[in-house]
Amino acid sequence: MSGTLNVFVDQIRDNIIKIKSQTKAKFCAVVKANAYGVGIRLAKYICDIVDYFAVANVLEANALAKYSGKPILVLSPPSIEDIKKIKYKNIEFAVDRVEIVEELKRQKERFKIHVAINSGMNRYGANFDEFLKIVESAKKSENICMRGVFSHFYNSDFLTMEKQHKIATKFFDVARANFNDVLCHISNSGGLMFAEDMVRVGIGLYFNENKCALSLESKICEIRKIQPGDIVSYNAHFVAKSKKTIAVVPLGYADGINRKLSGCSVIVKGQECKIVGDICMDCFMIDVTGVDVSVGERVTIFGKNGKRYNSVCNLAKWCDTICYEILTGISCRVKRKYNANYHRKIQGKKTGERSDRPNKTNTSENKRQHV
């Protein structure tokens, strides 16, 4: 493996518990895009303290169901073809067109749906007239359970959230008047004051008061001395002006190290070391002149090393992007290591153990029977 993404499970659990303490609403952990790059196996370490999971599509839902029997919501409305690929009974999904509901009514299976509504983002979601048609169609169905109605905040400022919540409330009122135990949800971790029946938390799983429950590390694999005039990496963008000690780190853009990070710093032995030259597909080089290092020395791309800390948000700023893109860009070549010290048992195993095997009992009981 080229590097390791350390996942500090205890801190993630603490983040969840803190958010839950601020609201009586159900807690939905959004783990789409491989849990924002962290790895879908995270689910088995937190399933005992969450009520729901949410993912982007049916493929992700089927993968997640191997690790948890909790309800799983597919947020992006799937096609009929994709709905037919659902393998587990705990998978629920979004709809935003009455045509889909009408097609589902012709099936012999039972389905649990959440109606996605448009409160202003204009991505997915039914407008009010379409929503009323969906409600009327679902009411006349014997095989469709209206499990929820939801929308999504497109901005985090209070006035925007208040405006969207007001729009969504009109939909929620209709849903509650027509269905029992329907879950109305719009809020993320930054909008707990608008929590309604459930709060959906994604990136907030990993951040609390600017502390990140993740770190990305690798190890020096080569060290070389170079002379004035020597070139480092492609395109001769770095030419040494003096004697330098250069170390090679086996992480590259194929691992998720953005090429815009050339010229930025990583941490070695508690000291900032600058990335020199273009970042390669499989490695990058750093200037360790004056730092007493050897092959095998730990290199921290983001996280804590000694007394220094580099945040994933800093990397995002250097790359003129957002932390979501940095995390989801970390490829499968990077090992995910789940550090869990809490003393509980989840799915019949001690949580300190790391295993790729799903819970067999949970999986077999949860299998969806297609008719």
The answer to whether 239 and 29 have CB atoms below 8 angstroms apart is no
Neighbours of 123 (CB within 10 A): 11
Q: What is the DSSP string of 70-134?
A: S-EEE-SPPPHHHHTT--BTTEEEEE--HHHHHHHHTSSS-EEEEEEB-SS--SS-B-HHHHHHH
219 noted as active-site residue? no
Catalytic pick from 32, 44, 70, 244? 32
User: Burial letters for 174-198: b for 16+ Cβ neighbours within 10 Å, e otherwise?
Assistant: bbeeebeebbbbbbbbbbeebbbbb
Neighbours of 224 (CB within 10 A): 12
Token duo for residue 257: 């190290």
How far is 191 from 72, CA to CA, in rounded Å? 21
| β-pairing verdict for 265-268 and 271-276 | antiparallel
Catalytic pick from 84, 154, 234, 350? 234
Which residue reads 């350390």 in tokens?
Answer: 6
324 noted as active-site residue? no
Q: Which residues are catalytic?
A: 32, 234
